[in-house]
A and B are shown apart, each in its own frame.
Chain A
Amino acid sequence: MAELKVNINGNEFKNPVIVSSGVFGYGREYEEFVDLSKLGGVATKGTTLYRRDGNPGKRIVEVPSGLLFSVGLQNPGIDYYIENELPNLLSKGTNVLSNIAGSDIDEYVAIVEKLEETDAPIIELNISCPNTSGAPLGTSCAGTEKITSIIRKMTKKTLIVKLSPNVGDIAEIALAAEAAGADAVSLINSIHAMKIELGSRRPFFHNNVGAYSGEAIFPIALRMVWETASKVKIPVLGIGGVTNGEEALQMMVAGATCVEMGCAIFRDPYAPLKIIEQMNEWLDNNGVKDINEIIGSVKPW
């Protein structure tokens, strides 16, 4: 049994596997299958200042090697989260990443003011939602630096900034977040994508475009994690299409300290636990005693 503990900004994770924001709600549903205390962490559904109903119409469709979705941040709002969901999650013996999203800086500020009154240890600042209107703040260095520095001044909680892949150079955006005081960056959010129904000539989603997730995006995410981790000094959390332990380990070799997994859970509700087991098995079989040894151990040509 290899040592699986990793650390981000003083938060100890019993293993590097976190269930990513959006697939897991606030943990209650999948608890029927998964003992949350076995997970490194849980990233909550992206939560906004007020209740949001999300996008009308169809919100998911399978495409080759993955799926497109367009939820539009349906959530009950930060007050409901703080009152009804956060205390429950904090009692589960896992790290809770409170994922928050706003449509402008004022909304992020108002949410963080409320979270400051709680014991939530980690904020995952979602500046990259692919399925709400308008360009997210996280698609420019200036926008990223501005929102990160404003939130940084408000809180001593661990601040992870979640980045969009829908940019020219994600490592530059990560550097902007680092310069503004982020404790870590998580990447990637989903990739803008589209489906059209031929008969009606209508885009499948009412929002016209949706977001691509699932196993197809793993190689893209891995490349972006590697590019980013080789530039920033803060920890990187790798996200995107991870479906097994070897892929999770590739993310870590590329430089990720933690790995978030998402869509694989739809097929297999036990996927997060299996990924942890598979990581451990590979480490044992390859004589690695401590998983920290492999973080960033890639040997580029």
Chain B
Amino acid sequence: MRYVQGKYPLLAKNNIARGIYEMNILAPDLAALAVPGQFVHIALAGHSLRRPISICRIDEAHGVIKIVFALKGQGTRDLADVPVNSTLDIMGPMGNGFTLLEPGRKVILIGGGIGVPPMVGLSDYYREYATAISGFRDASIKILQDEFEKNGSRTILCTDDGSAGIHGFVTQPLEELLSSDGHYDCVYACGPMPMLKVISGICGKYDTLCQVSLEQHMGCGIGACLVCAVNIRRDGEEHFLHVCKDGPVFDSREVVW
């Protein structure tokens, strides 16, 4: 693994939906190392712990990374208050990103809520060969659909309350695609654990490779402090592995749901 740590200029900040912010950060060395699915670990004044935020897009040519995050607690509120043109203390890129197949393979990208942002980096790679299924509680927190469309990725939008797109969960269109629409080489998913569990089950049923990105309360971010444990079955045994170093991406068949 290779990381960098430093202070990087915040180029732009936008409130893109209710309680959701995007930030573009100038970090050429970090952008050169990063792959989709990795995250950055951000230090904020007055907080003992850094905040892990997934990388949404990597623009290596311009040395810029984009992050998108939801306001969850004081840490993310303080992050959202950082003024444009000041700097952010960032460690990254952290963790293992998604395993990428060769371009041109057909894949499904599934994001639930604030699990959608890392799917954009995959859409940047697979482009028109990707189908992006996004699920939100309601239309007020719908994000990033334009980004998928500009890449030529097909978008399927779901909301829990029917205020936009399909009234229902992301698992319905997933099952329809896998059962009727021919072959997909991989499903990538990020979002709440109950959603990932159901997706994992559906992919198992159709024998489709599924990579999930998991979340856990995190400390050091590099695998030293052992706090961000997830139960993973590997080599016939269950282990508490760590989201920061062993993940955040795991093969869904290994996760002990």
Which chain A residues lie closer than 8 Å to B226 at the CB level? 25, 45, 54, 59, 71, 74
Q: Is B218 an interface residue (CB 8 A)?
A: yes
Q: Which of B5, B48, B221, B227 has a CB less than 8 Å from the CB of A59?
A: B227
Which chain B residues lie closer than 8 Å to A71 at the CB level? 225-227
**Of residues 205 to 254 in B, which have CB atoms within 8 Å of A's CB atoms?**
216-229, 231, 238-240, 245
Q: What is the bound-complex CA distance between A213 and B28, given in angstroms?
A: 35
Q: What is the bound-complex CA distance between A45 and B224, given in angstroms?
A: 9
A60-B49, A62-B48 given; A269·B225 CB < 8 A? no
Give the distance to chain A from B257, nearest Cβ to Cβ, in Å.
14
Q: Is B84 an interface residue (CB 8 A)?
A: no
Q: Which of A54, A60, A263 has a CB less than 8 Å from the CB of B218?
A: A60
Q: Is A301 an interface residue (CB 8 A)?
A: no
Give the distance to chain B from A77, nearest Cβ to Cβ, in Å.
13
Q: Is B192 an interface residue (CB 8 A)?
A: no
B238 to A, closest residue via Cβ: A53
Chain A CB within 10 A, most for which of B1, B5, B227, B245: B227
A30-B222, A58-B217, A59-B229 given; A268·B43 CB < 8 A? yes
Q: Is B75 an interface residue (CB 8 A)?
A: yes
Interface string of A30-69 (1 = CB under 8 A from B): 1011000000000001000000011110111110011101
Question: In the bound complex, do residue B43 and residue A59 qualify as a contact, i.e. CB atoms below 8 Å apart?
Answer: no
Which chain B residues lie closer than 8 Å to A267 at the CB level? 43, 47-50
Give the distance to chain A from B192, nearest Cβ to Cβ, in Å.
15
Q: What is the bound-complex CA distance between A207 and B205, given in angstroms?
A: 36
Q: Which of A65, A74, A215, A270 has a CB less than 8 Å from the CB of B229?
A: A74
Q: Is A121 an interface residue (CB 8 A)?
A: no
A-B contact count (CB 8 A): 89
| B contact residues, total (Cβ < 8 Å) | 30
**Of residues 116 to 157 in A, which have CB atoms within 8 Å of B's CB atoms?**
none
| A contact residues, total (Cβ < 8 Å) | 33
Q: Is B91 an interface residue (CB 8 A)?
A: yes
Give the distance to chain A from B77, nearest Cβ to Cβ, in Å.
13
Which chain B residues lie closer than 8 Å to A266 at the CB level? 48-50, 219-221, 225
Q: Is A265 an interface residue (CB 8 A)?
A: yes
Interface string of B175-202 (1 = CB under 8 A from A): 0000000000000000000000000000
Q: What is the bound-complex CA distance between A9 and B129, given in angstroms?
A: 66
Q: What is the bound-complex CA distance between A67 and B49, given in angstroms?
A: 8
Which A residues are closer than 8 A to B by beta carbons?
22-25, 29-30, 32-33, 45, 53-56, 58-62, 65-67, 69, 71, 74, 214-215, 263, 265-270
- 20 A–B contacts, CB within 8 A, in A order: A22-B225, A23-B219, A23-B220, A29-B222, A30-B224, A32-B3, A58-B216, A59-B227, A59-B229, A60-B217, A62-B49, A214-B48, A263-B48, A265-B220, A266-B48, A266-B219, A267-B47, A267-B49, A268-B43, A269-B5
Which B residues are closer than 8 A to A by beta carbons?
1-3, 5, 43, 47-50, 75, 91, 216-229, 231, 238-240, 245
Top 4 A-B pairs, shortest CB-CB distance: A59-B227, A60-B227, A25-B224, A29-B224
Q: A25-B224, A54-B229, A266-B50 are in contact. List 15 more A-B contacts (CB 8 A).
A: A30-B220, A30-B222, A45-B226, A58-B216, A58-B217, A60-B217, A62-B47, A62-B49, A69-B219, A71-B225, A71-B226, A266-B49, A267-B49, A267-B50, A269-B5
